[in-house]
Amino acid sequence: MQIWWVPDPCGRNYVFIAQSLLAASGLCGALALRSGVLLAWHEGTWTLAAWAHLACALSDPGAVPRGAAEALAPEELGDVRWCKHCQVAKPPRAHHCSTCQRCIRKMDHHCMWMNNCIGANNQKHFLLFLIYTSAHCLGVPLGVVCLLLRADEESPWYHVAHICGVAGLLLAGCVGRFCVQLLMEQLRHLSANQTGIELLQGTTGESRSFRATLQEVMGSAPSLRWLLPLPEPRGESAA
């Protein structure tokens, strides 16, 4: 599998921040909960969220291969759209990303937290990241309650535990709300078979069922693979 990495310093910092927050949450949960179903939920959703985040950040989002139509001049392509930046013919629903400096098939948007575009090849990973991060944030309040109930009032760390608990609740609330909103937005786009860019342009893809569009995004028929950020065969990769 070829690793895709966008050389954007700002984006790299956002990826580092996101992974650091996930790692801190996972470590704090392991120290506070120690055992039980809640620990399994906390660490399981954390692991899957971190995995999905890296899979989305390091996956080719669907870059249009270079060289397929470079021998043709723009005037020879007829109604086919030509990208003046990449000097390639753009397939339907493909758009040029100035940050990735490539044309991306079925481009939804460029996500700074992923340092990558969300496109045909990695939208599955993006959806899973939103789902598992939202689920992880939902479990944080219960974890904080367990931490505070087990805290020893005579311990010098008692007040530190309260401060960390409140900070964790605020952070989980903000992150969880943000991810849920993004997830709802993504699901609305899928129900209309429409990307974020197409929404801004007032266009859409062909009319079809939500299930058909979801299956296209997930890359296969419904199976356990839908629950894991595993790569799916999707034809040509970027050159």
Going by C-alpha positions, the residue among 49, 64, 60, 65 that lies closest to residue 123 is 60
For 54, 82, 148, 224, 231, the CA distances from 76, given in Å and listed in that order, are 40, 10, 70, 46, 36
- Look up tokens 């039980």; give the residue: 36
Got the DSSP string for 37-60? HHHHHHHHHHHHHHHHHHHHHTS-
At 174, list the tokens.
Answer: 């903000």
111 labelled catalytic: yes
Going by C-alpha positions, the residue among 218, 201, 219 that lies closest to residue 93 is 201
State the amino acid at position 57 in one-letter form.
Answer: A
> Which of 100, 111, 137, 179 is an active site residue?
111
Got the DSSP string for 151-181? --TTSTTHHHHHHHHHHHHHHHHHHHHHHHH
Helix (H) or strand (E) holding 25: helix 9-33
How far apart CA 61 and CA 238 sit, in angstroms, is 9
Query: Strand 102-104 to strand 109-111: parallel, antiparallel, or no bridges (unpaired)?
Result: unpaired
Per the CB < 8 A criterion, the answer to whether 214 and 189 are in contact is no
Catalytic residues: 111
